[in-house]
Amino acid sequence: DAKTTQPNSMESNEEEPVHLPCNHSTISGTDYIHWYRQLPSQGPEYVIHGLTSNVNNRMASLAIAEDRKSSTLILHRATLRDAAVYYCILRPLYNQGGKLIFGQGTELSVKP
């Protein structure tokens, strides 16, 4: 399985944008890029996913590099509630309904 690399931690100020990077240099052409986040003392929750094109939803935006070897999760205005561990996960096309393989994730702290 292709691997992802994320910084261990990042800091942000409240109401400022946050860019969370993920490297996946061994991604295959049929791997989708998914992001989940885990708030303190909760289970992970889905954030967004994409294949090649940039994606937007009510929670965040996902910017995918042209060569697909990296991606960035963008929170447009961080709130205190966005403090969480963010996981970048690759899911093969043939396994969209299967297990998730989590890495270490990036722990985001948000300062008031």
Partner 1 sequence: GAGVSQSPRYKVAKRGQDVALRCDPISGHVSLFWYQQALGQGPEFLTYFQNEAQLDKSGLPSDRFFAERPEGSVSTLKIQRTQQEDSAVYLCASSAPPGGFYNEQFFGPGTRLTVL
Residue 31 corresponds to which tokens in the numbers above? 């791997």
Residue nearer to partner 1 on the CB measure, 41 or 67: 41
Q: Is 44 in the site for partner 1 (CB under 8 A)?
A: yes
Part in contact with partner 1 (CB under 8 A); list of ranges 9-17, 55-63, 74-82, 85-93: 85-93
Which pair of structure tokens corresponds to residue 92? 């093969």
Choices 9-17, 58-66, 72-80, 89-97 (CB under 8 A): range interacting with partner 1: 89-97
CA-nearest of 58, 96, 56, 77 to 13 is 77
How far, in Å, CA of 54 to CA of 72, rounded?
10
97 makes contact with partner 1 (CB under 8 A) = yes
